[in-house]
Amino acid sequence: MSILVVGSVALDTVETPFGQAKEALGGAAVYFSYAASFFNPVRLVGVIGDDFPDEHLELLKGRDIDLSGLERAKGATFRWKGRYDYDLNEAHTLDTQLNVFETFAPKIPESFRDSEFVFLANIQPRLQLQVAQQVSAPRIIACDTMNFWIEGAYDQLRETLKKVDILVINDAEARELAREPSMVKAARQILKWGPSTLVVKRGEYGVLMFTDHSVFSAPAYPLEDVYDPTGAGDTFAGGFMGYLSTVEDINDASIRQAIVFGSTLASFNVEDFSLGRMKTLEMQDILDRFAEFKLLSHFEEVEA
């Protein structure tokens, strides 16, 4: 099964109460790819500048991530600088330099067009739609977005959503998109606009999934310390789509499992800066933590 991701590749400088990382490998497409690569090969479409370190490329290639859609443009790579305080749910952006990402127009290589699992990371909704239209026979198109596009490109985003099967956003974004403070009502509204599944990320409070006929609440893994939440959402999406790409039937049961795999991958990602923890992660660690999620949320039925 082939997984395609289109999104940012970045050099991140991050400060948290536990330390800092300088110009570390980051970006939505990178976090997504690395997590998804535990399940199936990944095809990455993005752009880097001529200053992008080779070692990062080697790291990704070593994970069976196909970089033939990674354009190298003249100029500097996208850079993001942020700080997290003790409330690690909220990122404070200190500086954003879009650089070569500013004029990013994703070109899907011919060899990528048969991708079955497509993740449209957070980019301009019009570009997301163009990508969705270039894929010949997708099984699942999933999509992320952010408040910037909800506020600044609302109509385009609504157009893009018509092509999306699974929307993966955070709770504030879901409420803002639906213009509705009640999450249950917001979900019902969004499900009328295209996606058949809405996955709502709630940081340390876990994940909610809504479909027309089902609601699922997944816990977050109770970590003692979150060292760096950067990339948690895209790592979640990578684990989620990665697992989905391995199942025969995409249905309520396998989507629930995929959410727990996504949560599992994200819980590892936040244990270190950048991809620090991910680099040493093994499939057995993932399966062990999946089992811990099962214990974490388990309770026995009662006789009615």
Binding site for a copy of itself (CB under 8 A): 86, 181-185, 202, 204-206, 208, 214-220, 222-225, 253, 256-257, 259-260, 284, 287-288, 290-291, 294-302, 304
Choose between 74 and 213: whose C-beta lies nearer to a copy of itself: 213
Rounded to whole angstroms, how far apart are CA atoms 294 and 200?
A: 20
Instruction: Estimate the crossing angle of helix 252-269 against helix 283-297, to 10 degrees.
Output: 110
Q: Choose between 103 and 297: whose C-beta lies nearer to a copy of itself.
A: 297
Please report how close the Cβ of residue 89 comes to a copy of itself at its closest, in angstroms.
Answer: 11
Give the nearer residue to a copy of itself in terms of CB position, either 214 or 280.
214
Please state whether 139 falls in left (phi above 0), alpha (psi between -120 and 50) or beta. Answer: alpha
CB of 231 vs a copy of itself, minimal distance in Å: 20
DSSP reduced 3-state for 143: strand
Nearer of residues 29 and 232 to a copy of itself, judged by Cβ: 232
In whole angstroms, the minimum distance from the beta carbon of 147 to a copy of itself comes to 17
- Asked if 186 and 177 count as a contact pair (C-beta separation under 8 A), the reply is yes
Q: How far is the CB of 286 from a copy of itself (least distance, A)?
A: 10
Nearer to a copy of itself, 94 or 223 (CB): 223
| Shortest distance (Å) from residue 45 CB to a copy of itself | 30
Choose among 70, 66, 61, 157: nearest CA to 106. Answer: 70
Q: Name the token pair of 68.
A: 């033939």
Contact 237, 144 (CB under 8 A): yes
Name the minimum Å distance from CB 300 to a copy of itself. 6
Sequence-distant (≥ 6) Cβ neighbours of residue 167 within 8 angstroms: 142, 143, 144, 145, 161, 190, 194, 195, 197, 198, 199
Residue with smaller CB distance to a copy of itself, 70 or 208: 208
CA distance 82 to 93: 4
